[in-house]
């Protein structure tokens, strides 16, 4: 095997593949990147048995072949190379000579025979979506997944394709995430041939890596294929496949409040900054923060014994009763405010200990539900 390519192209490919490489595994072979040199260039593959990826890199191939190279060492080498053409040549003793300018590295390689091949979904349901829309949907939901393996079903994002059975919704692509304390839901209308009915729980780890790869990509549509136990994503010459989380996702429709008594509209940035300041004090008392509607303002109050207290007053437009008091985990509020792009945001309160509902004032079908905290004051 022998090929040459530009250092910049190589570095992007290696850095992308390295994100999938298993850092801790009982199978040392998974710590490598597979290089396959063919007529069209070179293909890099990585596989951690949960998520796999392959991508193309432009290269001039003088001799076809395939090898495994240690991801961590290779990444360290490539990142330090000068901006020049780099040549890889496999020697008979199994070492790879990496040449650049007048210098070179010699790196031990492994035969690719035992490296697990990436699966291909044969009979899955498919649809295409603008990558920017997909990224936005992931970012507005993924922070609400559970980090606890005890709630394994909730460590992923539910993706649904098909007509919504919620009155008033016109979307046919939805993403939902919950950790049991809050729920984030985003819907979009896309063109889906045959309107396939899909319901799949995608691991948060896979979506996190996919977003990193797609960030800034606008040229092509993202092609998604879903089977009973796997999901694949293809964008240009990048292919990624992941296992799905098996099981029944909670019926999120049951927790969506049907009505509210008070609606408060605020400037999103002002609300976020006030919430972040309140969180400084609230962090010492389990993040508990009181939300109180008084006239035409929202008061955020937090208190930590032996530390101090804070009262943040935010101008607001209030519809409904102008006297409401309820407590929330302020961290769950700052999470969503950081993900909303709308200039103004609405927070709706029900009666008693009903969940709070946060929505952008405009733009997309987005919904965030957060459970209140019962305090000594009874709210």
- CATH 3.10.150.10 in the chain, residue ranges: 2-108, 125-253, 257-370
Rg (CA), the chain: 25
Q: What is the pLDDT of residue 25?
A: 75
Q: Which fold has domain 125-253?
A: DNA Polymerase III; Chain A, domain 2 (3.10.150)
pTM of the model: 0.91
Q: What distance in Å separates the CA atoms of residue 104 and residue 87, rounded to the nearest whole number?
A: 9
Q: What is the pLDDT of residue 38?
A: 94
The CATH label, of 3.40.50.300, 3.10.150.10, 3.40.50.970, 3.20.20.140, for the domain at 2-108 is: 3.10.150.10
Q: Which fold has domain 257-370?
A: DNA Polymerase III; Chain A, domain 2 (3.10.150)
Which backbone phi and psi does 337 adopt, to 5 degrees? -65, -30
Q: What is the pLDDT of residue 164?
A: 84
Residue 72, by phi and psi: left (phi above 0), alpha (psi -120 to 50) or beta? alpha
Q: What is the pLDDT of residue 190?
A: 87
Q: What is the pLDDT of residue 279?
A: 97
Mean pLDDT per segment of 10 residues, for the chain of length 379 residues? 96 94 84 94 95 96 96 96 97 95 96 92 91 95 94 95 83 94 94 82 96 84 95 95 95 89 96 98 96 94 95 96 91 96 94 90 86 73
């Amino acid at each position: 095997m022998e090929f040459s390519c530009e250092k910049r192209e190589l570095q992007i490919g290696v850095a992308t593949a390295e994100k999938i490489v298993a850092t801790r595994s009982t199978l040392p072979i998974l710590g490598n990147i597979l290089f396959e040199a063919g007529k069209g260039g070179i293909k890099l593959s990585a596989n951690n048995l949960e998520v796999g990826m392959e991508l193309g890199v432009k290269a001039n191939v003088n001799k076809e072949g395939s090898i495994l190279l240690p991801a961590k060492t290779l990444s360290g080498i490539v990142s330090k190379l000068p901006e020049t053409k780099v040549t890889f040549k496999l020697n008979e003793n199994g070492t790879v000579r990496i040449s650049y300018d007048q210098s070179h590295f010699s790196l031990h390689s492994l035969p690719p025979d035992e490296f697990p091949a990436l699966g291909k979904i044969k009979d899955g349901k498919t649809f295409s979506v603008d990558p920017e829309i997909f990224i936005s949907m992931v970012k507005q939901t993924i922070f609400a997944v559970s980090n606890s393996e005890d709630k394994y079903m909730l460590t992923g994002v539910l993706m649904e394709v098909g007509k919504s059975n919620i009155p008033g919704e016109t979307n046919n692509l939805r993403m939902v995430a919950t950790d049991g304390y809050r729920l984030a839901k985003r819907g979009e209308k896309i063109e889906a041939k045959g309107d396939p009915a899909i319901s799949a729980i995608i691991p948060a780890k896979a979506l996190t890596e996919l977003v990193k790869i797609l960030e800034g990509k606008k040229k092509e549509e993202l092609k998604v294929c879903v089977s009973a136990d796997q999901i694949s994503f293809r964008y240009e010459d990048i292919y990624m496949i992941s296992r799905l989380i098996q099981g029944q996702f909670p019926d999120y429709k049951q927790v969506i409040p049907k009505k509210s008594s008070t609606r408060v509209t605020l400037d999103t940035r002002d609300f976020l900054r006030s919430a972040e300041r309140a969180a400084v004090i609230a962090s010492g008392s389990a993040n508990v923060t009181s939300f109180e509607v008084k006239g035409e303002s929202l008061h955020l109050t937090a208190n930590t014994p032996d530390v101090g207290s804070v009262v943040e007053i935010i101008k607001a437009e209030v519809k409904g009763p102008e006297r409401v008091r309820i407590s929330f985990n302020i961290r769950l509020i700052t999470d969503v405010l950081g993900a909303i792009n709308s200039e103004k945001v609405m927070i709706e309160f029900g009666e008693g200990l009903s969940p709070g509902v946060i929505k952008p004032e405009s733009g997309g079908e987005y919904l965030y539900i957060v459970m209140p905290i019962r305090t000594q004051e009874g709210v």
